[in-house]
Amino acid sequence: MKTDKYSDRTDVNIRVSLYEYGLIRNPNTDKVIVCLNSGIEHNKENKPIIRTSFISFDEVKEALEEASPGYFSFIGSDLMTELNQLRNDYLSLTISSMNQYSGTFNDYLYY
């Protein structure tokens, strides 16, 4: 049986997660694959722009601990709830949300 290396994603479908939501992650290696021009139709003339990086559990946890109160208002939660729910196998939504709010992981993803 083939295992899904990039199981940390925001959709069941890996293509939708990468090309529409922009990010997939391998929780075993912390490798993140990002589509910089996600959310648009890709074709021969408009190919996806793909980058890779590594984002660990500890880096996400530290970013949450340093996040402003505005971030938690943005996601409708609070620090303690987010820390209690934080799991290495499901960081993609937190990474995406933090990046949308303040570009927290831009240095990791947009080089």
Average pLDDT over residues 72-83: 98
Alpha helices in the chain (DSSP H): 14-16, 57-66, 69-75, 79-85, 92-102, 106-109
The CA distance from 8 to 79, in Å, is 21
Domain boundaries of the chain, sorted by first residue: 8-109
Q: Rounded CA gap, 95 and 62, in Å? A: 12
Look at residue 65 in the predicted model and tell me its pLDDT: 98
Q: Indicate the pTM of the whole model.
A: 0.89
In the chain, the amino acid numbered 37 is N
Q: What is the pLDDT of residue 106?
A: 83
Average pLDDT, the chain: 92
Contact in structure between 24 and 8 (CB atoms under 8 Å): yes
Percent of the chain topping pLDDT 70: 95
pLDDT in tens, 42-75: 999 999 999 999 999 999 999 999 999 999 999 9
